[in-house]
Amino acid sequence: MFKRKSIRHAILLSLSLSMLFVGFPTTSLHAASAETRILLDGYELPFSAAPTVIQGSTMVPFRSIAESLSISVEWNPKAKTITAKSQGAGDVTTVILTLNKKQAVVNGQTVSIPMAPVQMKGTVMVPLSFFSKQFGAEVAWDSGARQVLITSPQQPLYRLGFYAISSFAERSYVNEFDGVAFGWARIQEDGTLTTSGKDFYWPKASGDVSPESLVTGAATAGVKPSLMVFAGDRGGELTKMIEDDQLREKAIADMVKLAQDKGFGGITLDFEGLGLTGDRELAKQSFTKFVKQLAEQAEPAGLKLSLALHPLNSSYQGYDYKALGKIADQLIIMAYAYEGEKDPEPLKRVDEAIKLALQETSKDKLLLGISMGSENEQSISSKIGLAKRYDLKGIAIWRIGLIGDSALVKMNQSTARESGH
């Protein structure tokens, strides 16, 4: 019986594009009843209506999946047509479906389909295989777990990488990113900027490779280099600097000068620890004031401004996403270290961090921070999948030096450089 089904399936696949809408085998689909879960990139996807089996095909709510795959959807109630358009790493795909009609228009070509889209309780349902055949998503059925597994196709995203002192071994990865933040400066205990000390300092040259050559090489390769400045508030040094007029003005002037002198195209602030205790509103106001003054000097100097921020569902509440999103060029949600970075970050917490950030600022300003200190080649795909699901500007990887070849492969399978390099 299985052999006959396989032969028949193969013949139908070779006939025409009509098989674009064929679902999974009937025996599996009946196991996938009302309890079926849909996992997109390893994380559950909410649905407007439950998947339904019709004549052996799994019918799923079209808009729920499409928009999570960055496919635009337009519904024409008069003509009862759905126009879906997707632009992934390749060409634009445009599909026009008509309710209850066994024909579709794919990039201007009319094709016959065996299962027409139907409307159920106000939701348009289409065969699940539509997404794999037309838009490049991978689809699988796990009968034991009663799960439909969808892997999103490759999609262009802005990719920011962090380069720290211990990143030298993976310096060749710099060219895999659209931008790289070089973490070679920090605010020290007296509230002033320094490029010496521990953790974040200007590195020495290694043979012919100097810090300056890494920055120049990145820019030549079309990668936007920025000066990353770290500050922590363990000893109150960050609070001291942003609340003191003279220290604040000096730190800003020194940052801008250092970035200009060393050929950077931007400044990335990684100012951590604000709002854990004390006056949180004052911390928000002081940090926002600092960022505003920095932006006023950075913009005329041609320097873009990025901010790495604790997520809004963390213990650190000293960051006003709404105000900062209006000032900075991009915000990086540091959605990690929820559980000490011993295991992959819990997807529900990361999902919540994104949703909270989207309530405060535009998705076009947001990068999802992913720490390779806790992730692996499997889990990184789920984090990238969330960035794609919410159509964020991109991702920010902490850090080069922790990525590894296998995780780099996963990143390249999930995303393409926004610049197209």
Residue in 276, 274, 285, 332 with CA at minimum distance from that of residue 304: 332
Look at 24-38, 120-134, 157-171, 304-318 and tell me which has the smallest mean pLDDT.
24-38
| DSSP assignment string, 364-378 | GGEEEEEETTT--TT
pTM: 0.89
Mean pLDDT confidence for 263-268: 98
pLDDT value at position 91? Answer: 75
Q: What is the pLDDT of residues 106-126, one digit of tens each?
A: 999 998 777 899 999 889 999
| CA 357 – CA 332 distance, rounded (Å) | 10
The more confident residue out of 34 and 132 is 132
Q: What is the pLDDT of residues 87-97, one digit of tens each?
A: 766 678 999 99
Q: HSE-up of 248 (CA within 13 Å, CB side)?
A: 17
Percent over 90 (pLDDT), the chain = 74
Q: What is the pLDDT of residues 201-211, one digit of tens each?
A: 999 999 999 99
DSSP label of 206: B
Strand ranges inside 23-134, DSSP E: 37-40, 43-44, 52-54, 57-61, 72-76, 81-87, 92-98, 103-106, 109-112, 118-120, 123-127
Q: What is the pLDDT of residues 23-67, one digit of tens each?
A: 333 333 343 444 778 999 999 999 888 888 788 888 888 999 999
Other C-beta atoms closer than 10 Å to the C-beta of 304 total 18
Residue-range domains of the chain with CATH: 18-151 (3.30.457.10), 155-417 (3.20.20.80)
Stated as kind and residue range, the H or E segment containing 398 is: strand 394-400
Confidence band (pLDDT; 50, 70, 90) for 358? Answer: very high
| CA 63 – CA 46 distance, rounded (Å) | 11
